[in-house]
Amino acid sequence: MNTDQLMTLAVNKNGFIFDPENGISYTVNETGLFILQQMQKGQQEQEIIASLCEEYEVLPDQVRSDLEHYCAMLKSLNLVED
């Protein structure tokens, strides 16, 4: 997954995200912010799943589909590419 576009986003600690390339802003919850930060660090899907499991004390199967849905949303917003 190409996450280059994520690197251009301005993100604050409250989950407010601004895309300076198109002037659009977004908001995410705590978990969405955590995932976005992991993606910006260059972590791959399995690493993000492991990080989520450690941070939130959940099982991999519990977060896998949520992460896939989140990535699909980012794709639909043209913030990541396959």
- pLDDT of 28 reads 96
- Are the CB atoms for 39 and 48 separated by under 8 Å? yes
Token pair for residue 2?
Answer: 């190409």
Q: How far, in Å, CA of 28 to CA of 16, rounded?
A: 7
* Average pLDDT of adjacent 10-residue blocks, the chain of 82 residues: 90 95 95 95 95 94 94 93 84
Please state, in angstroms and rounded to a whole number, the distance separating the CA atoms of residues 78 and 34. 19
Nearest alpha-carbon partner for 53 in 35, 74, 26: 35
